[in-house]
A and B are shown apart, each in its own frame.
Chain A
Amino acid sequence: MDSTATRGGSSSRPGLACYIGAMSKLAGRPCVEPATSEPDPVVEAYKKDVDRTLLRANLARTVEERLQNLGRLQRFAEELRRAGRAHR
């Protein structure tokens, strides 16, 4: 699962997220709290390594082309997995 799905709460701190989630459920409200907008030092560190040439190339594509690329990459990854299994 790649989404942010859980029935818990919302926070960049898992413990707090559980607490907020539990409180939201108790209050009968969906869990929609603002995430902090402060820069996360870990994210900032990762951001330095993001290949922005790839992003720019992707942004020059249409949404359909981006999804087609994803489909091609998924199929290729599947092919590699299959080859790896056969090799073992």
Chain B
Amino acid sequence: MIDLERALHELHRGGVEFIIVGGVAATIHGATRVTQDLDIVYARTPENIDRLATALAPHRPYLRGAPPGLPFRWDAETIGRGLNFTLTTALGDLDLLGEIVGGGGYADLLPHCQSVTVSGVEYRCLGLERLIHVKRAAGRPRDLEAIAELEALREQGGDQDAG
């Protein structure tokens, strides 16, 4: 389970450039399904990677599902060498994505984002249309029900409501 408000706040406070995607983005658009983690696409610039490493370091990021005690080091070098990280942190489960299927990286997704305000802070969230697109592109059977709900939301005019 993720402490959403705190996780978003910590990333914002650290000046991290990111886009909310996945289940939390679906919730923002009005989906009713419950997600347990926060998925973000982060900018892969060296400065942003530094900021991301610094912002999360106090929250003890570790590879989710990995056995304890692995020599995993959370720093800019590790992030720079990897791309997508599924992490467990003191804030909850956090997926840091450098790229998503059908959407690309941070810069590719920016034109498809909309702003949402949470606790007085503005965040970038992937727009409903693009969210459907990337979920369809991923082609995962378990996403099919989620896509159905997102498409129903689109028919209800959900994209306008999250802006």
Interface string of B133-157 (1 = CB under 8 A from A): 1111111100111011101110011
The one of B3, B35, B138 that contacts A6, using a Cβ cutoff of 8 Å: B138
Majority secondary structure, B binding face: mixed
Q: How big is the B interface, by class?
A: 35 or more
Interface string of A32-70 (1 = CB under 8 A from B): 111110001011101101111011101101011011011
Q: How far is the CA of A63 from the CA of B119 in the complex (A)?
A: 10
Chain B, range 34-93, C-beta contacts under 8 Å to A: 34-37, 39, 83-84, 86
- Tell me which residues across on chain B come within 8 A of A43, comparing CB atoms: 144, 147-148, 151
Contacts known (A17-B101, A46-B148, A66-B30); A56 close to B156, Cβ less than 8 A? yes
Asked if residues B136 and A55 are in contact (CB atoms below 8 Å), the reply is no
The one of A14, A30, A59, A78 that contacts B153, using a Cβ cutoff of 8 Å: A59
Chain A, range 2-43, C-beta contacts under 8 Å to B: 2-14, 17, 21, 30-36, 40, 42-43
Residue of A nearest to B146 (CB): A2
- Tell me which residues across on chain B come within 8 A of A3, comparing CB atoms: 21-23, 39, 95, 97, 100, 134
Asked if residues A1 and B136 are in contact (CB atoms below 8 Å), the reply is no
- Tell me which residues across on chain B come within 8 A of A59, comparing CB atoms: 30, 153, 156-158, 161
- Tell me which residues across on chain A come within 8 A of B4, comparing CB atoms: 67, 70-71
Asked if residues A55 and B30 are in contact (CB atoms below 8 Å), the reply is yes
- Tell me which residues across on chain B come within 8 A of A69, comparing CB atoms: 27
* B contact set with A: CB distance below 8 Å: 1-5, 21-24, 27-28, 30-32, 34-37, 39, 83-84, 86, 95, 97, 99-105, 108, 116-119, 133-140, 143-145, 147-149, 151-153, 156-158, 161-162
Query: Other CB < 8 Å A-B pairs besides A4-B138, A10-B137, A67-B24, 16 of them?
Result: A1-B95, A2-B22, A3-B22, A5-B97, A6-B101, A10-B101, A10-B139, A12-B139, A35-B133, A40-B147, A42-B144, A55-B30, A55-B153, A61-B30, A67-B27, A77-B34
* A contact set with B: CB distance below 8 Å: 1-14, 17, 21, 30-36, 40, 42-44, 46-47, 49-52, 54-56, 58-59, 61, 63-64, 66-67, 69-71, 73-75, 77-78
